[in-house]
Amino acid sequence: MDAKFTVEFDTAATPEQVVGALTDFTDNRPNVWKGLTRSDYEVHSLGPTSADVTEGTVKFWARESYDWSQPGRVTWTCRESKFLNPGTTMQVVAVPNGSGSHVTYDFHRSFRGFRGATLYPFIKLTGKGYFKKYFQSTFDRVAKSS
């Protein structure tokens, strides 16, 4: 059960703010990313351009490897999950656009198990619109708060 799509949008956040929001692995992360549950958030390791993090919600969590070694680009890869196959990725690329950014979000996830089978139809039907709105509103909120 694979789902792949790309969405593009503009945001008031600069590329630095976009990358900063995606790579903020402090205790503030669940406040920035409203879809995360604080009790299911744990940083296992954090380096200058990488992190190993478990995050999500009670039923839909994943251990992800984050990489932001390339400027303006953050990629995260599933390492462990009860609903995703390891190795599948998501990526955000932000390039300057006026005073904000043009963002390209690539979603490539392979679902498994009962939880994956429950989430997969939602992602296939509404994923593009949902994630565009979720990321755009989060980045816009970050831009306003800076």
Residue with the two structure tokens 């690329």: 93
Q: How does residue 73 score in pLDDT terms, banded at 50, 70 and 90? A: very high
**Distance (Å, rounded) from C-alpha 75 to C-alpha 115?**
23
The CATH architecture of the domain made up of 2-145 is: 2-Layer Sandwich (3.30)
Model confidence at 8, pLDDT cuts 50, 70, 90, reads: very high
Q: Which residues of 13-32 are buried (b: 16+ CB within 10 A; e: fewer)?
A: bbbebbbbbbbebeeebbeb
Quick one: what percent of the chain has pLDDT higher than 90?
93
Nearby residues of 11 by Cβ (< 8 Å), 6 or more positions away: 18, 94, 100, 101, 103, 136, 139, 140, 143
Residue 146: pLDDT above 90? Answer: no
Sign of CA dihedral 74, 104, 80, 41: positive
Note the pLDDT of residue 111. Answer: 95
* Residue ranges covered by each domain of the chain: 2-145
Q: Residues 105-130: what's their mean pLDDT?
A: 94
State the pLDDT confidence band at 58, using cuts at 50, 70 and 90: confident
Angle between helices 15-22 and 113-145 (to 10 degrees): 140
pTM of the model: 0.94
d(CA 115, CA 85): 12
Torsion angle of the four alpha carbons 43, 104, 9, 99, in this order, in degrees rounded to the nearest 10 = 80
- Quickly state the pLDDT bin for 35 (edges 50, 70, 90): confident
pLDDT at residue 16 tops 90: yes
The percent of the chain in helix, strand and coil, each rounded to the nearest 5, is: 35, 40, 25
